[in-house]
Amino acid sequence: MGPLTELDSMYEAELINLLAPFNLSTDDDVVMWTPSVTGDYSVAEGVRLLCASSDSQVINWKKLVWNNRVPSKVAIFHWLACKKSIPVRDILIRRHILSHSHSPLCGWCNPEVETIEHLLLHCSWSHKVWSALFQWWNLRWVMPNSILNFSADWYHDMGIGDKKFWRLIGPATLWAIWIARNDFIFNGNYTCWTSIFRSIKLKVFLWASTFKLCYSHQSYVWDYNPGLLCHSV
């Protein structure tokens, strides 16, 4: 480093004057979570801060995403999707993680760019999975334009009349689509949408039975007319 210039000396003197009222510690640096009174980080503190933020007053993440009956990895993925932070091709290219020579197009349908909303909600391949799920529940619904709107609609059960199963099916489907996409991208394994649909039904039934929302002997009813179970437990 070269000698200090006159301007550097002025900045140095100004900095010394600013720091003069403070007693500086000579101890080693420590990592502190400043929003906490104790300086220690905890998940509870993180959730409290998130719920207290201005964005959380508009978007109640705790209600829309965090469900203790859904595996944490699935809930975290759902949250990341809402925050537009899962690594689809469009995001990877815009962040320069992939070069612009890589195709941004969806691996399933090709004509469309692989954005989060396209992949999880609007892709023709994903649409077949969603359509099968809606038909299974005898429901007609138009896909919203964003994951946030999807989450809000799904949380409010879309007129089914019972949230206990419906709040499991939405996140399970998002996760299943993502896993199938990655298997196709990284391993070249194409999974038929009918297999995805069957796996979602089984996965959600296992989650629901674990929390006593239904019982194992009701699997036949679940498979063919799940609406009958809505008020059975």
pLDDT at res. 59: 59
Of 162 and 136, more confident: 136
Q: Of 9-23, 150-164, 169-183, which has the strongest mean pLDDT?
A: 169-183
pLDDT tens digits, 58-85: 557 667 788 889 999 999 999 999 989 9
Of 36 and 208, more confident: 208
Which sequence spans correspond to the domains of the chain? 1-60, 65-229
pLDDT at res. 57: 43
Contacts of 121 (CB under 8 A, 6+ apart): 130, 143, 144, 147, 150
Q: Of 1-15, 40-54, 191-205, 209-223, which has the strongest mean pLDDT?
A: 191-205
pLDDT higher than 80, residue 226 = yes
Average pLDDT, the chain: 82
Band the pLDDT of 56: cuts 50, 70, 90. Answer: very low
pLDDT higher than 60, residue 55 = no
Instruction: Give the Cα separation of 41 and 18 in Å (integer).
Output: 30
Band the pLDDT of 92: cuts 50, 70, 90. Answer: very high
Tokens of 112: 């469309």
Instruction: Give the Cα separation of 147 and 170 in Å (integer).
Output: 11
Under DSSP, the state recorded for 113 is B
Task: Name the residue among 179, 184, 190, 220 with its Cα closest to residue 202.
Answer: 220
pLDDT at res. 231: 62
Q: What percent of the chain has pLDDT over 70?
A: 74
Of 218 and 32, more confident: 218
pLDDT at res. 232: 58
Long-range contacts, stretch 178-181, CB < 8 angstroms, 24+ apart:
178/77, 178/86, 178/119, 178/120, 181/107, 181/108, 181/119
State which H helix or E strand residue 15 sits in: helix 6-19
pLDDT higher than 80, residue 185 = yes
Please report, to the nearest 10 degrees, the dihedral formed by the alpha carbons of residues 222, 223, 226, 231 taken in order. Answer: -10
Say what the pTM is: 0.73
- In the predicted model, what is the mean pLDDT of residues 115-119? 95
Under DSSP, the state recorded for 218 is G
pLDDT at res. 41: 73
Taking a C-beta distance cutoff of 8 angstroms, is the pair 120, 126 a contact?
Answer: yes
pLDDT higher than 90, residue 46 = no
pLDDT tens digits, 21-35: 666 566 666 666 666
- In the predicted model, what is the mean pLDDT of residues 41-57? 60
Taking a C-beta distance cutoff of 8 angstroms, is the pair 233, 217 a contact?
Answer: no
- The 3-state DSSP composition of the chain as helix, strand, coil percent (nearest 5) reads 60, 0, 40
Taking a C-beta distance cutoff of 8 angstroms, is the pair 63, 155 a contact?
Answer: yes
Instruction: Give the Cα separation of 164 and 140 in Å (integer).
Output: 19
pLDDT higher than 50, residue 126 = yes
Instruction: Give the Cα separation of 86 and 177 in Å (integer).
Output: 13
